Amino acid sequence: DHTAIDAAHIHAWSDSHNDRIQNGMALSKLCHWAYDAGLITVTKNMQIKVSHWVRHEQHEHVNYLLELDGMPFHLPENPTHHPNEQHFEWHRKHRFNKW
């Protein structure tokens, strides 16, 4: 009854109240936490970007995130299910850039 994958909002539910599929993505529980905390994001080129804070923190609990930096963000096969870039833009501006 448990899974390692979470359904995550791209543009935070608390701000958007948007449950449309284009505002969602599937993430591991660790990546979901890091995304919500603003430690990782997705670029316009659909690559994972890790916060500068993680690079400088050198803490064992966040160093694993460095391996994700620059990796491609995999999109669903069906283009109608692709995330809306505006949601990622909101995340980069309001969550990621705080670090």
How confident is the model over 5-60, as pLDDT tens digits? Answer: 999 999 999 999 999 999 999 999 999 999 999 999 999 999 999 998 887 776 66
DSSP 8-state assignment for residue 44: T
Q: Are 65 and 50 in contact (CB under 8 A)?
A: yes
Give yes or no for a contact between 85 and 73, defined as CB atoms under 8 angstroms apart.
Answer: no
Beta partners for residue 93, in sequence order: none
Given pLDDT bands bounded at 50, 70 and 90, which one contains residue 68? very high
Arithmetic mean of pLDDT, 78-83? 97
Q: Do residues 59 and 53 lie in contact, with contact meaning Cβ atoms separated by under 8 Å?
A: no
Q: Is the pLDDT at 99 greater than 70, yes or no?
A: no
Q: Give pLDDT, residue 64.
A: 84
Which tokens sit at 71?
Answer: 């990796």
